């Protein structure tokens, strides 16, 4: 059976850490959908359509990766897209606590969806979109942390 995974997130912005998770995920899955969610509680710093096109550019030569935006519960969105795997990255214990409860809610919402965690590579484990947004607001250089120019 075809293994399709969804990699959901805010990706505000998409970072080298996210890229590493997708690239490593490609050895596990036949297809990965990078799904940029409209988060109702967070106001974005980088426009969702801008981020979508920047990520699409990175993977323009790779037909196993697609980029979509969505505005619904992730577990339902995965089902709609016939994705049986939900890919997430784990940086630290804080991520773990949060991801553990999300994964259990997702399992109740969609029992066919299996969450797969990849431990972040050490060189990316301190990269956070929140900090990059903060740097960008104050016009600091963020080129070392993201895989494109913004």
**Residues known to be catalytic:** 18, 42, 91, 129
Please give the Cα distance from 8 to 36 (Å, whole number).
6
- With CB under 6 A as the contact rule, the residue among 5, 32, 46, 91 that binds ligand ADP is 91
- The answer to whether 14 and 55 have CB atoms below 8 angstroms apart is yes
The residue (of 57 and 130) whose beta carbon lies closer to ligand ADP is 130
- The answer to whether 88 and 119 have CB atoms below 8 angstroms apart is no
Residue 15's Cβ-side half-sphere holds a number of Cα atoms within 13 Å equal to 21
- With CB under 6 A as the contact rule, the residue among 9, 25, 70, 110 that binds ligand ADP is 9
- With CB under 6 A as the contact rule, the residue among 21, 22, 33, 75 that binds ligand ADP is 21
Residue 129 interacts with ligand ADP (CB under 6 A): yes or no: yes
Kindly give, in sequence order, each residue whose CB lies less than 8 Å from that of residue 96, ignoring residues fewer than 6 positions away. Answer: 90
Residue 13 interacts with ligand ADP (CB under 6 A): yes or no: no
Quote the least distance from Cβ 47 to ligand ADP, whole Å: 15
Which stretches does DSSP call E strand in the chain?
4-9, 31-37, 65-70, 85-90, 114-119
Quote the least distance from Cβ 94 to ligand ADP, whole Å: 9
Residue 106 interacts with ligand ADP (CB under 6 A): yes or no: no
Quote the least distance from Cβ 54 to ligand ADP, whole Å: 14
In 10 A of CB 93, how many CB atoms?
Answer: 8
Measure the CA dihedral 56/145/17/93, to 10°.
-140
Residue 124 interacts with ligand ADP (CB under 6 A): yes or no: yes
Binding-site ranges for ligand ADP (CB under 6 A): 9-11, 15, 17-18, 21, 88-89, 91, 95, 120, 124, 127-129
């Amino acid at each position: 059976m075809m293994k399709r995974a969804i990699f959901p997130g805010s990706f505000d912005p998409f970072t080298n850490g996210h890229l590493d998770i997708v690239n490593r995920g490609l050895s596990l899955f036949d297809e990965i959908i990078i799904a940029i969610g409209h988060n109702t509680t967070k106001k974005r710093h980088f426009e969702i359509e801008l981020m979508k096109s920047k990520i699409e550019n990175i993977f323009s030569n790779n037909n196993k990766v697609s980029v979509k935006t969505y505005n619904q519960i992730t577990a339902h969105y995965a089902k709609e897209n016939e994705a049986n795997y939900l890919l997430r990255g784990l940086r630290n214990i804080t991520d773990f606590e949060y991801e553990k409860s999300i994964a259990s809610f997702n399992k109740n919402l969609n029992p066919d969806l299996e969450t797969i965690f990849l431990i972040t590579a050490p060189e990316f484990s301190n990269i956070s979109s929140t900090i990059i947004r903060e740097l960008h607001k104050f016009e600091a250089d963020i080129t070392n942390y993201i895989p494109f120019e913004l």
